[in-house]
Structure 1
Amino acid sequence: MALQSQRVRLGAVRSNFAPWNDPAAKPLIRFESVTKQFSDTVAVTDLSLNIYEGEFFCLLGPSGCGKTTLMRMLAGFEQPTSGKVILGGQDLSGVPPYNRPVNMMFQSYALFPHMNVSKNIAFGLKQDGMAAKEIDQRVQEMLKLVQLERLANRYPSQLSGGQRQRVALARALAKRPKVLLLDEPLGALDKKLREETQFELMDLQNDLGTTFVVVTHDQEEAMTMADRIAVMNKGHIEQVGTPGEIYEQPNTRFIAEFVGDVNVIEGKVAGRNEVGHWHIATAASEDFMTIDDADEVLDDGQEIAIAIRPEKMIIGRKLPENSPNLMKGEVWDIGYLGDWTVYRIKLDCGALVRVSRANVNRYVDNPISWDERVELSFVPNAAVILSR
């Protein structure tokens, strides 16, 4: 992965913020060999992870993978069975939630229905004994931050889902925690509002510089917002990386299949060519497939899988004869999504693959239709070899 990152950046990045690449940088949060067991169930297994100050970090994974348990251990609602949780150099063992410099925003928002917006935001500040004048100043600051000044006197029942989400966010930020924990923060919003709020959260976090740790099972949400993502599975971390690294260079088959759409083609290693590309024998192609994946060390005859994203494949009725990684098949299904058209192709070997094509024009002359014979291709560096 390091060699690949030096050679070419994987995916788009939104900033040059990358303290994890600095050997001298000290993490703000450290999970050291943490295990959490509930009776006979092990929720987190010997997990180690570093999160840096000012980072927007996402814990991503399917239900039951341990991501919420990890966040609750950081918040102090659960204690590790073994291992340490360290924040700012302090071992948090035995430190109660109210004495930790973190705040948590829950999926349900947990607003007080009998309090208006201002009083909801002020609640935690009053509990801490802050002076009334300072509370008022802080509440006004938070209202401006989340653009709810006009709604200060409304009650939660009078707000939309997106507005309630902002109130909960303002209340969590009012105490100025070092770390803000967000558990499925956008799950209650509709699709369009969720997409808009993702960018608002990114801008807000960037302006504040507060470390955000978000738990989500929504891969698109994680890919949009995070500086880095830790993908979890069955209590351990499969891979940590930027969204581009997770998507373009998955370490395992689980990562490739969980994050985004992917075609997985089984094959066997058949050596390398003169420029160092791997030759892979597969049932999907008459010739060897040629894959440029320098990060993998493979043995001849080794069984592997090739992962290729649908949008990286080329489709046509007849492609040039010298097209790399040529496959042939028949159109099985077509899905028109507006911005994309998705084709499901049944290859001659019987396997089904997906191909996505961007709809850059409103009108299509002689479009590919059901039951047509087509050819598929992809360039050697578009695919990734998965040996595990």
Structure 2
Amino acid sequence: MTRSARASIGAVRRSFAPWSDPAAVPLIRFEGVTKRFGEAVAVDDLTLSVYEREFFCLLGPSGCGKSTLMRMLAGFEEPTAGRVTLDGRDLAGVPPYRRPVNMMFQSYALFPHMSVEDNIAYGLKQERLPRGEIAARVAEMLRLVKLEPMARRRPDQLSGGQRQRVALARALAKRPRVLLLDEPLGALDKKLREETQFELIDLQERLGTTFVVVTHDQEEAMTMAHRIAVMDHGRIVQVATPGEIYEQPRTRFIAEFVGDVNILEGEVAGRTEAGLWMIRSPLSSEPLVIDDPDESLATGTRVAVAVRPEKIRLHETPPAAATANVLAGEVWDIGYLGDWTVYRIRLPSGELIRLSRANASRFVEQPVGWEDRVHVSFAPDAGVILTA
């Protein structure tokens, strides 16, 4: 892809936000959907909207209901209650093969005895499209996923990443309105998974197809999605952009599930003259001061303060008296990750604070070593107050 094309994709993604337009009509709508399997509730009275051309991600731990939700959209399961609509049409009773939806499974489910091009053509042949149109679409898909030289190979002659692209091409060949991807990158190694994430972003923007992805991988969701719905026990906990999910988690569950985080327990002690919340914590002799927009907190309310490791500063000597939110401790663990170094600082209470520093320059020895006495601090706007 040329640099100018990539730049234009970036501009499209930055400006794409139909959910913020009151006049925008969702392409997919779950309305009060519940799904029970016997006594077990997999999806619990869930309402959710997905917009055309959106790269949407359902994120959550195993068993939270995300795959069940996708299967109801695909037509493999029917809701126990509520309804699912696509482009305003109620999908109740519509079989999977009659829905403008296609699904790419985690296992890829390629036919081992067929070549790459025959795998891609399979669904088109089932629809009895003219031979010339099938050949044209297969050629288009091979170009799209950069597998033209592999057209005559069988799946067992391909790498894991190549098999993944064949499955993607087969799913896209029928030109669905919506492409469903169930843990699509789970079988790939870390480096290939990271590369493929950006390939999927570029592909989705070029095609304009609505993608709905199920994953439990937070990094995958944060990288690819326009918006993320975080699920827990069959319910939507928060729907927002990746930045909002990470920087402004609505609950403690989200803060802990998405990325690394420190949770500092305390209670509200009032406000400063500057309007910052003061949080009395057993970890500090002075109240923590937090810049949080919540106006509803009452003095004495038990809360938790969430602080991401990269937002905590490490001081080898005591910081200036005006520095906010200072805690003293000793270095308990050090993890060198190449681009980052992770420290765990043990406070006098026994609590461990995790912080990370970017390795912006080369060095031979760590500037801070095990068991060194240090101080850590974080700015008032680095913390998020959680009441749930």
| Smaller-chain TM-score bracket | over 0.9
The 5 Å alignment of 1:93-108 reads 93-108=92-107
Following superposition, the deviation at residue 316 of structure 1 comes to: 1.2
**Equivalent residues of 1:85, 1:92 under 8 A apart:** yes
Task: Note the alpha carbon deviations across 1:290-341, whole angstroms, 9 max, x for none.
Answer: 0000135200010000000000000012222211001111111110000000
Q: Give the match for residue 303 of structure 2.
A: 304
Change (3 A) 1:338 1:13: farther
Q: Give the match for residue 255 of structure 1.
A: 254
Change (3 A) 1:281 1:146: same
Q: Distance in 2 between matches of 1:350 and 1:194?
A: 38
Aligned residues: 377
Q: Give the match for residue 231 of structure 1.
A: 230
Name the TM-score, length of structure 1 as normaliser: 0.96
Amino acid at match of 1:39: G
Change (3 A) 1:13 1:381: farther
Q: Give the match for residue 78 of structure 1.
A: 77
Unaligned ranges ≥5, structure 1: 1-11
Change (3 A) 1:47 1:135: same
The 5 Å alignment of 1:161-240 reads 161-240=160-239
Q: Give the match for residue 347 of structure 2.
A: 347
Amino acid at match of 1:336: Y
Q: Give the match for residue 36 of structure 2.
A: 37
Secondary structure in 1 matching 2:256: helix
Q: Give the match for residue 316 of structure 1.
A: 315
Following superposition, the deviation at residue 274 of structure 1 comes to: 1.6
Q: Distance in 1 between matches of 2:100 and 2:256?
A: 37
**Which of 348-357 and 215-224 deviates more?**
348-357
Following superposition, the deviation at residue 364 of structure 1 comes to: 6.1
Q: Give the match for residue 267 of structure 1.
A: 266
Does 2:63 match 1:64? yes
Unaligned ranges ≥5, structure 2: 1-10
Amino acid at match of 1:329: G
Q: Give the match for residue 325 of structure 1.
A: 325
**Equivalent residues of 1:13, 1:244 under 8 A apart:** no
Change (3 A) 1:340 1:86: same
Name the TM-score, length of structure 2 as normaliser: 0.96
Q: Give the match for residue 4 of structure 1.
A: none
**Equivalent residues of 1:143, 1:152 under 8 A apart:** yes
Amino acid at match of 1:385: I
Amino acid at match of 1:201: L
Q: Distance in 2 between matches of 1:54 and 1:14?
A: 10
Amino acid at match of 1:20: W
Does 2:4 match 1:16? no
Q: Distance in 1 between matches of 2:190 and 2:296?
A: 42
Q: Give the match for residue 3 of structure 1.
A: none
Following superposition, the deviation at residue 286 of structure 1 comes to: 1.3
Secondary structure in 2 matching 1:197: helix
Q: Distance in 2 between matches of 1:366 and 1:332?
A: 14
Q: Distance in 2 between matches of 1:211 and 1:364?
A: 48
Task: Note the alpha carbon deviations across 1:147-192, whole angstroms, 9 max, x for none.
Answer: 0011100000000000000000000000000000000000000000
Secondary structure in 2 matching 1:73: helix
Change (3 A) 1:281 1:13: farther
The 5 Å alignment of 1:135-154 reads 135-154=134-153
Task: Note the alpha carbon deviations across 1:201-249, whole angstroms, 9 max, x for none.
Answer: 0000000000000000000000000000000001101100000000000
Q: Distance in 2 between matches of 1:350 and 1:56?
A: 43
Q: Distance in 2 between matches of 1:297 and 1:337?
A: 41
Change (3 A) 1:322 1:163: same
Q: Give the match for residue 382 of structure 1.
A: 382
Q: Distance in 2 between matches of 1:86 and 1:365?
A: 59
Secondary structure in 2 matching 1:15: helix
Q: Give the match for residue 7 of structure 1.
A: none
Secondary structure in 2 matching 1:304: strand
